[in-house]
Structures are given as structure tokens and as C-alpha cells.
Amino acid sequence: MIPRHLSAAVLEALGDTPVVLLHGARQTGKTTLAKHLASGEHPRRYLTLDDVSVLSAAGQDPAGFLAGLEGPIVLDEVQRAPELFLAIKSEVDRSPAPGRFLLTGSADVLLLPRLSESLAGRMEILTLWPLSQGEITGTRESFLDVVFARPAPKFPANADQWSSVTARVLLGGYPPVLNRPSQERRRAWFGSYLTTTLQRDVRDLANIEDLTALPRLLSLVAARSCSLLNFAELSRSIGIPQSTLKRYLTLLETTFLVQVLPAWSANLGKRLVKSPKILLNDTGLMAHLLGLNEERLKADPMLMGPLLENFVALELRKQAAWSRTRPQAFHFRLPAGEEVDLVLEDSAGNLVGIEVKASATVTTKDFKGLRALADLAGPRFRRGIVLYTGASSIPFATNLHAVPVSALWHRF
């Protein structure tokens, strides 16, 4: 098993919380991690609701099913029997011992209020994303903590060539893909994965009349990744009503295939009304949907821009799960056109701006959006960073730096 940086957080939660939910997209390693923890520091019985017999027992009589289980339990793919959540609540209210239930699920219960509200105050929720670059290489990344630190850190020079960065982006982080050396075998895996996820998980969550629209919608999202979410334009492109489109996008977000990046504003109330950006959960999947490979990226380098921005956003979202800082991520755009790809905000309101550039050169113009953010945020602005594919870390001002993108996964 590839060690997961989230393991420590799961163990910590099991030590003081009755129910811990480990959720994320299918095939990200939730079952592997849960079984590993269940056979080690927190021994417990493992049951999966992918087993027809277990699913039948849990669905027909949830209370009786749980009453027949003794000791700590792992319940895998718990979203398949939503009736269990109320039964678990009753069990926890009767015996609130920490670490009683370790649940895994391939649906975001935060987007399924009926499930999340039933265990409010009794459950800690952790998200397992596809493998981070540090997990792949055996390095615990600390980029997020470093960029918020004072004084300014010493950023490393680039140890990864353009071809290496491209290979990382195209591969993505799904564990099963890492063992497939050829592009053809990876393409076959992603094709089967999408069919299974869209045909099975979405059908479990909702009664969708036209499942054929979902793969087309996902491809459209891939083509518009890191762009503002425009429901009217997407609706026209795919030929379905906006109400249906919003429902479908919510389902894709619920199954962790699609993520949204909200807008940052100094006015907290405006953050909810400004348009978010839309992201895919893995750049290997994104490249598959767009038919991208190294040859196409060499022939048309402009295609790398959205792919690299999506890659950076995902790596930072993964690292936020185990960093000390745990910042929230946003994007920033002013009416005059200044924008910043990623704005990270810590709990104290301090900001770090991240601009992503798929180029080996950086100029002062690349800091235009970061300077606008700094002017607006004032003393809350900690620093601005342009992540690029060049080799050197270059200071452009006291709090403005050009940094190789490989700093994301190198040890400081």
C-alpha cells in the first residue's frame, strides 16, 4: 500500500469521535486505507455494502443489522444504504464511544443533507483525493505551511524537467493508473472507470432518465476546466435545460468527479453570488476526456495551461487535508480584468495568491493580478507566487516570487 498522508488525521479522529466518514471518488484508495487501519492500530471488523447480502441486510432492517455487530466496525460504501445513518445515530446516542464506526463512501454527504444532518455533531468527515505527488514519491509536502510562514521561505530550484512535469500532469493520481505503463492501458482503465461510476453511482443517487448526457457533460466540463461556471453557455452547448444541467452538475460534484472553486471577495457576502470556477478531480481523467497526450501538448503548448492550473489547484486541495494551516481556496477576478488563479486564505484571514503559468519564463506582467489582490487585501496579503515550469526561484519583490511548479511536491 502507498502510505497516505491522511492516515494520521483519520487515526486522530477515531481517537475522539464516534463516527468517522472517509469519503471521496471511487478508486482513490478509501477501502485500502480503511482495511489497513482496521488491521493495525484500530482493529475492527470490515463489511462492505458492495456485497449484495450485506446491502440487503442493512437496507431491510438497519437497526437489527447494527445490533448484530459487536465492537468497532468498518462499513464500506455506506452511501448505498442511506437508511443506516439514522440507525448509526441511535447506536451512537446509546453508546458514544469514540471510534465506533469508520465509514467510507463514494458520495459527498455534505451535498446530501438528509444524511449529513442525521449525524451532525457525532461524525467527522475526511476526504481522500487521488494520490498527491508527494504520496507518489514518498514525500510529505509542506508547501502550504511554508508559503504562509514568516519570514519568506527559500524556494528550491527546479529538479524536474518540462517532460517530467508533463508526465505527472497526464498521469494524475488514481492509484490503479500508476501500475499501467502504457497510454493504451490507462485509456482503457479511465473508460471503464467512467462507465462504472456514471452508470452505477449516479443511478444509485438519483433517477436519471438520460445517463448518456452525463459523459458528454463531463467532457464539456473538462474542456472548460478552470473557467467560470456559466450555466447558460453550458446549457446551450449540451442542449439540456439549465434546471436539468444544475441537477446533473450537482450529481457529478456529489460523486467527486467535479469540484468548484468559489470566488474570493473582501466582502464575505459577495463570495456566494460571484461565479465559481469549475475543476475536474484529476488531470489524468481530464487528459483522457480531452484526448491529450505528450505529443499533442508538444504540438500545441497552449493546451497545457488549463491542465496545469487544474493540476496545481488539486494538489493544493489535497495538501490542505493534512497541512497545519488548512487554508480555504478561492479564485479572484476584478471587473477590469485582473485575476489570480488561486487565492489561499487561512483561518486568520491571511492571504497567499497563486498564479499558474505553463511557461519557462516569467515577466513583471505575470504579477499584475497578484499586485491587484495585494492592494485590495492590504496587510492581510502575505505573498504572491507565480508557479511556472522554469528552473529558478526568482524574487520580483519582497513578497512576490516566481517559483518552479515542482516546489509543490519537494521537501523544504
217 neighbors 244 (Cβ within 8 angstroms): no
In a domain, 2, yes or no: no
Q: Distance (Å, rounded) from C-alpha 280 to C-alpha 175?
A: 17
Residues 333, 362 within the same domain: yes
211 and 76, same domain (yes or no):
no
Q: In 10 A of CB 320, how many CB atoms?
A: 17
Which residues constitute the domain of residue 301?
134-408
3-class DSSP string for 183-230: HHHHHHHHHHHHHHHHHHHHHHHCCCCCCCHHHHHHHHHHHCCCCECC
Is residue 121 located within the same domain as residue 142? no
Whether residues 264 and 373 fall in one domain = yes
**Angle in degrees, CA 218, 174, 214, rounded to 5:** 15
pLDDT in tens, 347-360: 999 999 999 999 99
Statement to judge: residues 17 and 160 lie in one domain: no
Looking at the fold, whether 217 and 303 belong to one and the same domain comes out as yes
Listed residues 106, 128, 150: the one ending a domain: 128
Query: 71 and 57 in one domain?
Result: yes
Q: Are residues 116 and 143 in the same domain?
A: no
* Percentage of the residues of the chain whose pLDDT score is greater than 70: 95
116, pLDDT greater than 70: no
CA distance 396 to 384: 10
- Identify the bridge partners of residue 381 per DSSP, sorted by sequence position: 351
Average pLDDT, the chain: 91
All three cell numbers of 151, joined, read: 519570514
Residue 375 lies in a domain: yes
Do 166 and 145 lie in a common domain?
yes
Q: Report how many domains make up the chain.
A: 2
What CATH number has the domain bearing residue 98? 3.40.50.300
Domain-located, residue 1: no
Q: Please, are residues 277 and 264 in contact by the beta-carbon 8 Å criterion?
A: no
Instruction: Please report the pLDDT score of residue 156 as a whole number.
Output: 75
What's the grid cell of residue 51? 456485497
Is the pLDDT at 173 greater than 90, yes or no?
A: yes
pLDDT tens column, 36-91: 999 887 789 999 999 999 999 999 999 999 999 989 999 999 988 888 999 999 99
| 65 and 19 assigned to the same domain | yes
What's residue 272's pLDDT? 59
Looking at the structure, tell me whether residues 121 and 210 fall in a common domain: no
Instruction: Output the pLDDT for position 410.
Output: 85
Write out pLDDT tens, residues 268-304: 777 756 899 999 999 999 999 999 999 999 999 899 9
pTM as predicted:
0.93
